[in-house]
Copies of this chain bind each other. A is one copy, B any other.
Amino acid sequence: MGAVNIKQLAKQLGLSISTVSRALNDTYDISPKTKQKVLEMAERLNYQPNPHASSLRRHKSKTIAVVVPEIANNFFALAINGIQSAAREKGFHVLIYVTNENDKIEDESLNHLRNGRVDGLLISVSNKTIVDDTLYKIQQEGIPVVFFDRVRDDFESAKVTTDDFDSGFKATEHLVKQGCKKIAYLQISKKLSIGMNRMKGYQAALEKYNLPADNGLIIDCVDNKEENYIKIKALLNSKGRPDGIFASVEHLAITSYIVCKDLNLNIPKDVKILSFSNLETASLLNPSLTTITQPAFEIGKQAATILLKALTKKSFTLADTKVVLPSDLIIRDSTARR
């Protein structure tokens, strides 16, 4: 018996061509049982793939999309540089979509990149991401999805993050050791697991050092600088003013510095400040800012490498991949004992 084509193979199996194709290409959305069934039948019928068609189908556009919540943020700028360096090595183009922390723009961008525009997707979700089904649709259409930094816990796929809990713990512990007794946590959206993990690390450190957990010291910040300024000013103007601030993202530390300047509060004497940040000017600020610095370039590079593997290797299962990279605590003057 001569070689059969994919249409004949699908007919024999009673499956759609698309399912058979995905099973043969070992994509993540086909069950191991179905894969097994398809592969056995393919062998039995002497199915021979058309290597050219397969390559075309697998990466038609040689393009990957990157969806990020903002770009006026050094973390994302550096992560994108890392993504580009990995993509370039494999000859892939990179298209960037910026959602401005807006779930509607995020959804529009996700819909835009469907229909053959890109072969794969790297995403750091906005802090307003609602559980919609566009990402599922993308995955079902055979576009592999890799999350980096801001992941969705409810969505099964490859994820590259940093050790947010440990970093939150380490940051808070450092503030305690520098003499802080009352540490505030500036939180971005509660919807984001990275924010929650950083906060859990903060809470665990408070518990370890027998400091009371005061919910009034956890400030829910937003995307609006003016609103955050008002919230942080109210915090630092209050009677029970904190003596330490742990900011979960860079722009909250910048706003805290501005508030301290306006209130004539001395950093670190009156209040010590520590922040997650990839700010290039951290060491040049007045005073220099103690940071938890994420390996942003590396996060982007590894996320892209995983995605490109999924696009070019047959035997790679995307959903199994979880990478957690360590962040660094870089001690500077904003947390000095004075």
Contacts and interface: CB of A to CB of B under 8 A. Distances in A.
A61 to B, nearest CB: 9
B281 A285 contact: yes
A227 interface: no
Contact of A286 (B93, B279, B280, B284): B284
A95 B96 contact: yes
Nearest to A280: B254
A284 B254 contact: yes
Interface string A273-301: 00000011101111110000000000000
A178 interface: no
B280 A72 contact: yes
A84 B98 contact: yes
Interface of A: 63, 71-74, 77-78, 80-81, 84, 88, 93-98, 100, 105, 108-109, 112, 117, 251, 254, 257-258, 261, 279-281, 283-288
Given A80-B98, A84-B98, A93-B97, 19 more contacts: A71-B77, A71-B80, A72-B74, A72-B81, A81-B98, A88-B105, A93-B108, A94-B98, A95-B97, A254-B280, A254-B284, A258-B283, A258-B284, A281-B281, A281-B284, A281-B285, A284-B286, A285-B285, A286-B288
Contacts of A279: 281
A74 B281 CA distance: 12
17 contacts: A71-B96, A72-B78, A73-B77, A81-B98, A81-B100, A93-B97, A94-B97, A95-B96, A95-B97, A251-B280, A257-B281, A257-B284, A261-B284, A281-B285, A285-B285, A285-B286, A286-B287
A260 to B, nearest CB: 10
Contact of A112 (B93, B96, B251, B286): B93
A114 to B, nearest CB: 12
Contact of A96 (B72, B98, B100, B105): B98
Nearest to A76: B71
Contacts of A254: 280-281, 284
A304 to B, nearest CB: 14
Nearest to A251: B280
